[in-house]
Amino acid sequence: MRRAEKAARVAAILDELYPEPPIPLDHGDPFTLLCAVMLSAQTTDAQVNKVTPGLFALARTPAAMVALGERRVLAAIKSCGLAPTKAKNLVRMAALLVERHGGRVPDSLAELEALPGVGHKTASVVMCQAFGRAAFPVDTHIHRLAARWGLSSGKDVATTERDLKRAFAEATWAKLHLQLIYFGREHCPARGHDPRACRICSWAAARRRAPAE
């Protein structure tokens, strides 16, 4: 099956399963979304959503985050993985927003990526979810699914992002990012299941796999 054909069939199944996938991280504006995405590294979205109401009650602007300071940010987020590093990055990121961007989150991938603790994937999430810009954030789960389904070579995340952007219409990237995340969470157990029973792997898998993955 050609890659474009495969992509269309995958998109149709995902649209059927997740017609309007919600953004899983609670937020109120670009700054609180950026903070939530930074907190989500190696932490579940549910856990992030537990700590952000308390954190944002104390500081929901860059200036307030700087004033709160690393120690109190850490106290507010300590149940998240990598909390000390995240607390440091949140305060440094907020300080740079105040210094360089007038206390606003920049609407630019390059400027976002220049902020402490903000990598390409985090910046891409903010670009599409906060600003409605065309971006296709690819995490390790999406990277793995794209390789399994033969939509990319699986070489690296950057290649997967490029291949997925070619395979799907730009207007669908942001939604597909969410649909793929939900599909991976709800349909892909870590081990011990039969890919032949999967709605997508059963026909799209790049190569035949043993029954138990």
- 80, 86 in Cβ contact below 8 A? yes
Residues 6+ apart with CB under 8 A from 117: 38, 85, 86, 88, 89, 90, 92, 93
Is residue 187 exposed (0-12), middle (13-18) or buried (19+ Cβ within 10 Å)? middle
40, 114, 53: which is closest to 105 by C-alpha? 114
- Chain-centre distance for alpha carbon 146: 15
C-beta of 5: minimal distance to ligand SF4 in Å? 18
| Residue 213 near ligand SF4 by CB under 6 A | yes
Phi–psi pair at 12, nearest 5 degrees: -65, -40
C-beta of 39: minimal distance to ligand SF4 in Å? 26
| Residue 198 near ligand SF4 by CB under 6 A | yes
Q: Tell me which residue has its CB nearest to ligand SF4.
A: 198
84, 119, 87, 126: which is closest to 104 by C-alpha? 126
The two tokens of residue 9 are 């069939």
C-beta of 184: minimal distance to ligand SF4 in Å? 7
Nearer to ligand SF4, 71 or 208 (CB): 208
Q: Which stretch binds ligand SF4 (CB under 6 A): 2-10, 104-112, 162-170, 190-198?
A: 190-198
What is the set of active-site residues?
121, 139
C-beta of 15: minimal distance to ligand SF4 in Å? 16
Residue 140, phi-psi category: left (phi > 0), alpha (psi -120 to 50), beta (remainder): alpha
| Residue 180 near ligand SF4 by CB under 6 A | no
C-beta of 153: minimal distance to ligand SF4 in Å? 17
Contact set for ligand SF4, span 124-163 (CB under 6 A): 145, 148
| Residue 193 near ligand SF4 by CB under 6 A | yes
| Residue 188 near ligand SF4 by CB under 6 A | yes
Selected binder of ligand SF4 within 200, 210, 211, 212 (CB under 6 A): 200
122, 123, 128, 125: which is closest to 172 by C-alpha? 128
Selected binder of ligand SF4 within 26, 82, 187, 203 (CB under 6 A): 187
Nearer to ligand SF4, 30 or 195 (CB): 195
56, 11, 6: which is closest to 35 by C-alpha? 56
- 18, 178 in Cβ contact below 8 A? yes
Site for ligand SF4, rule CB under 6 A: 145, 148, 187-188, 193, 195, 198, 200-201, 213
